[in-house]
Amino acid sequence: MNRTIDGWLLDVYPARRTMVVWIATAAGEVLRFEDPFRPSIYAQGRRRDLEAMAERFVENRFCDSAVWTEKKEFWSDKPLEVMELRVSDYGRIWRLLDRLTTLEGRFTFYNCDIPLPQYYLYVRGLVPMVRCRAECRGDRVVSIRSTASPWDDKPEIPPLRRMEMSITGDPHLPLGRNNGLRVRADETEIEYDAASGTEMLEHLNRLISCYDPDLIVTAHGDSCIVPSLLRLSRKLGVPLVLDRDPAPVLRKITTRGKSFFSYGRILYKGPSYPLYGRLHIDRHNSFIYKEAGLDGVLEFSRLGKMPVQYAARTSPGTAISSMQVAYAVEHDILVPWRKGEPEQFKSAWHLLKTDKGGLTFRPPIGLHRDVAELDFASMYPSIMVRHNISPETVLCACCPEPRVPEIGYNVCRRRRGMVPQVLEPILARRERFKSLAASSDDPAESALYDKLQTSLKWVLVTCFGYLGYKNARFGRIEAHEAVTAFGREMLLKAKELCERRGFRVLHGMTDSLWIQKPGISRQELEPLQQIISRDAGVEIRLEGVYRFIVFLPSKTSRTRPVPNRLFGIFDDGTIKVRGLACRKRDTPPFIREMQGRMLARLAGAELGDRLADELGAIEQIVC
């Protein structure tokens, strides 16, 4: 007999031939079910060859079945007849992909390497941490669907029991070497001496079993706490009950993460230790948790349709990629296995015109008063939405008319691109959250909306870079170039409009303008903002009016300005700093503190000769 379960989708993960689904109910229960989900891989090629290949895979039990179906090809949007291979055993997927790799010369494969939990969520139309309803027979899911929208202004989340773990000493040392374990649940806080070994593990097991947390938030859990506990558990023969899943999980102890290069910096990503049946978030191994807290992680998970633990440990780029793949699966668009759209040939002159990036002016060195800063709101994402910039719409075959300024690319007018359709609701949602944060009288509610808009900010920041990323599934460098071309044109038009109304443009950088006029006021800037926003099609906002701003020279040439080295004091006393040592993570603390005190002294200085004296006294040290 079937029963109906209402609750929130807590977590999903594969277990050989089924997806394990955990549902948290309003009563505080967390229930485990299994869904016999069969992911599909699609293949295109000669009909006779495909049928022979599919027959072999079914005979070898790599697939349950193979059927002909029709899907849409991403680049052309045309229907394509493909063979659908339904995978039977999750444990053999990688062996199947190895086989498919040897056949890529004869066939084209799609939807091959989508992570299984995300593929399940895409196909079933489910969203983590959003209300759902499941029809179940025993512990098997008969049907399941979401009953709420992830786009609600204030999504309702389940009542999660939360536990926190941290270490009492150096996070770079394992437990036991003058390092203890601190555990907090509700108002109870316990410190364990790791030297006690068996006693600590047994007491920790009793605490977890008794409190039964749904979420464990750790400090250095991935890099230190969990691997140390697992190592101690194996050494002493005392099992751990970190997981809620009754099926035993064979874990490999990993203490090494990986380093990668991004935007001029070498970054480190620690190992990953998700839990099964509970959620584990390491706040030191989660970019989005550091930026926007748990609310930001859940927003990432909901909109990206990614399990919470994966969303916590991933990058904003992976989140936007997941949103695009989710859109493709939901609209029957085939997802390319590998990026298959090479960069078009360009002559040296054409490359010089197209590969320019954002427009940057050279500011006049020194101190300037009566200056205002105007910033375009989410310029590049807004350009993509307004001008329909997407990999499949730029240089389309159906609309030859040049539309992109300066570089002359054509953009499709008949077909709405995937990227604009994914970004448009995110842009609107962020603006909504910013408005709610500013208008709310409740500090807690305002803080919540600020965290949510911060999480979306990072998605929007990353989406532009992913257009030109060499490994992006839906990337194309020409789309990336088209966005920067529109951005340069927009900044130049804004500059001209400012100058027509009597303002002097001191500086401009990608999406910002610094303009000057004697006695400048916020009132006279409002009509200017309206004119620029209307002409550009993207809202431009007042960042602030400066009491003064200083554009600094290069360290190697005192006559050459550096566009992104500046500091200024807004009329409310707020300090803005770019490019100074106090902004760099590798700056020694005493230097950072010293520069901070200098800037605070400048912020309190009066205009006139005294300010000039203050600047002259510390200019050499600041620069």
More confident residue, 603 or 589: 589
Q: Determine, yes or no, domain membership for 466.
A: yes
Q: Residues 424-445: what's their mean pLDDT?
A: 93
Q: Residues 171-187: what's their mean pLDDT?
A: 84
Write down the mean pLDDT value for the chain. Answer: 89
Q: Which two tokens stand for residue 196?
A: 């006690």
Percent of the chain at pLDDT above 90? 68
Per the structure, the complete domain to which residue 95 belongs is given by 40-113
Q: Which two tokens stand for residue 102?
A: 């040897």
DSSP string, 15-48: ETTEEEEEEE-TTS-EEEEEE----EEEEES-HH
More confident residue, 460 or 263: 460
Lowest mean pLDDT across 27-31, 168-172, 207-211 = 168-172
pLDDT score, position 621: 46
Q: Determine, yes or no, domain membership for 426.
A: yes
Give the CATH number for residue 52.
3.30.70.120
Nearest to 284 by CA among 270, 266, 273: 270
Nearest to 561 by CA among 373, 356, 366: 366
Residue 616, pLDDT > 60, answer no
Instruction: Provide the terminal-to-terminal Cα distance of the chain, rounded to the nearest Å.
Output: 76
Query: How far is Cα 54 from Cα 63, in angstroms, rounded to an integer?
Result: 8
**Are 460 and 520 part of one and the same domain?**
yes
Other Cβ atoms less than 10 A from the Cβ of 102: the count is 8
Query: How far is Cα 68 from Cα 74, in angstroms, rounded to an integer?
Result: 19
Q: Determine, yes or no, domain membership for 406.
A: yes
Predicted confidence (pLDDT) per residue in 375-391, tens digit:
999 999 999 999 999 99
Predicted confidence (pLDDT) per residue in 259-272, tens digit:
765 555 666 677 89
Task: Output the CA–CA distances (angstroms, integers) from residue 133 to 24, 130, 158, in the order listed.
Answer: 11, 10, 14
Q: Determine, yes or no, domain membership for 222.
A: yes
**Are 232 and 381 part of one and the same domain?**
no
Query: How far is Cα 618 from Cα 620, in angstroms, rounded to an integer?
Result: 6
**The total number of structural domains that make up the chain:** 3
Q: Residues 87-110: what's their mean pLDDT?
A: 91
pLDDT score, position 350: 76
More confident residue, 89 or 176: 89
**Are 489 and 554 part of one and the same domain?**
yes
Residue 416, pLDDT > 90, answer yes
**Are the beta carbons of 385 and 393 closer than 8 angstroms?**
no
Q: Determine, yes or no, domain membership for 304.
A: no
Q: Would you give the distance in Å from CA 65 to the centre of its chain?
A: 36
**Are the beta carbons of 325 and 114 closer than 8 angstroms?**
yes
Give the CATH number for residue 520.
3.90.1600.10
**Are 70 and 202 part of one and the same domain?**
no
Measured in degrees and rounded to the nearest 5, phi and psi for residue 102 equal -70, -15
Alpha helices in 366-417 (DSSP H): 379-386
**Are 360 and 449 part of one and the same domain?**
yes
Q: Determine, yes or no, domain membership for 561.
A: yes
3-state secondary structure of 497: helix
pLDDT score, position 111: 95
Q: Which two tokens stand for residue 305?
A: 């349709």
* Amino acid residing at 63: C
Query: How far is Cα 498 from Cα 379, in angstroms, rounded to an integer?
Result: 18
**Are 103 and 171 part of one and the same domain?**
no
- Given the structure tokens 């890099």, which residue do they identify? 223
Percent of the chain at pLDDT above 70? 94
